[in-house]
């Protein structure tokens, strides 16, 4: 190295006699662990976002089906009103009895079909709600896993700066907890 050059060494390098450096094994391990944790954390973060979006889509589908069911129930109510008017018309002495009886039967039959469709749409809506809740549960697992990985990364940085090897236990514990929650998310538990 010439006199005009200036070299800055990282905290993981130890300076030996003669100006040469030796990479500190402890610091290198922490640096590599931090890089691995950051990569794993990126994956966990992606999964958390993905499951949250999926849960939102299920909730949206539930709302759509609920609206379709409400439309069917409104149609059912309209048919009931027409049926009621036909029943009232039967009370009139000059009413065409046969015509109104057929109308009542027709409205009654149409109402059964409409009711069946409305109930089916409500069941679909409930199914989407259940899927949304289950997916949000998985999302929370991914979010907790990501949080624990972030804590592990922060502890790794503190470990590297303070050079206290005892903090590496905390790094391992937080990372381990993150992996446990990631496994729970993968298994949908």
Report the Cα 26 to chain-centroid distance in Å.
Answer: 38
Res 9: pLDDT: 63
> Cβ distance 137 to 181 under 8 Å?
no
**94 alpha-carbon distance from chain centroid:** 64
Res 25: pLDDT: 85
- Tokens (6 digits) for 2: 């010439």
In the numeric block, which tokens belong to residue 40?
Answer: 């794993």
Residue 179 in any domain: the answer is yes
Q: Is the overall model pTM greater than 0.85, yes or no?
A: no
The bridge status of strand 13-15 relative to strand 21-23 is antiparallel
- The token duo for 39 is 């990569």
DSSP at 11: T
Q: What are phi and psi of 123, to 5 degrees?
A: -65, -40
pLDDT along the chain (189 residues), means of 10: 64 54 76 94 96 97 97 96 92 88 93 96 97 97 97 95 91 96 95
Domain that holds residue 88: 24-186
DSSP label of 95: S
- The first and second tokens of residue 19, run together, are 């100006």
Where in 16-77 does DSSP place strands (E)?
21-23
Asked if the structure places residue 5 within a domain, the reply is no
Residue 12 included in any domain: no
Whether 29 is covered by a domain: the verdict is yes
| pLDDT in the model for residue 179 | 97
Q: Residue for token digits 């094994």?
A: 25
- Kindly state whether residue 6 falls inside one of the protein's structural domains: no
Instruction: Determine the 3-state secondary structure of 21 from DSSP.
Output: strand
pLDDT confidence of residue 84: 94
Interacting residues of 54 by C-beta distance below 8 A, sequence separation 6+: 135
Can you tell me the distance from the alpha carbon of 127 to that of 52, in angstroms, rounded to the nearest whole number?
17
Instruction: Judge whether 121 and 68 are in contact, CB under 8 Å.
Output: yes
In the structure encoding, which two tokens stand for residue 170, read together?
């905390």
Number of domains in the chain: 1
Residue 107 lies in a domain: yes
64 lies in a domain? yes
Predicted pLDDT of residue 125: 97
Q: Which of 152, 185, 188, 157 is nearest to 169 (CA)?
A: 152
d(CA 34, CA 18): 31
Helix (H) or strand (E) holding 24: none
36 lies in some domain: yes
């Amino acid at each position: 190295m010439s006199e005009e050059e200036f070299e800055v060494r990282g905290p993981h390098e130890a300076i030996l006699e003669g100006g040469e450096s030796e990479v500190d094994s402890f610091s290198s391990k922490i640096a590599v662990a931090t890089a691995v944790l950051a990569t794993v954390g990126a994956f966990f973060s992606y999964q958390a976002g993905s499951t949250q979006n999926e849960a939102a889509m299920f909730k949206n589908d539930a709302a759509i089906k609920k609206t379709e069911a409400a439309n069917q129930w409104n149609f059912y109510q309209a048919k009931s009103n027409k049926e009621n008017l036909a029943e009232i018309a039967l009370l009139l002495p000059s009413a065409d009895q046969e015509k109104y009886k057929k109308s009542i039967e027709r409205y009654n039959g149409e109402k059964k079909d409409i009711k069946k469709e409305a109930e089916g749409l409500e069941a679909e809506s409930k199914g989407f709600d259940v899927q949304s809740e289950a997916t949000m549960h998985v999302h929370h697992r991914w979010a907790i896993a990501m949080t624990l990985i972030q804590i592990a990364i922060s502890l790794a940085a503190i470990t590297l700066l303070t050079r206290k090897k005892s903090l590496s236990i905390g790094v391992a514990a937080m990372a381990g907890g993150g992996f446990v929650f990631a496994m729970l998310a993968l298994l949908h538990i």
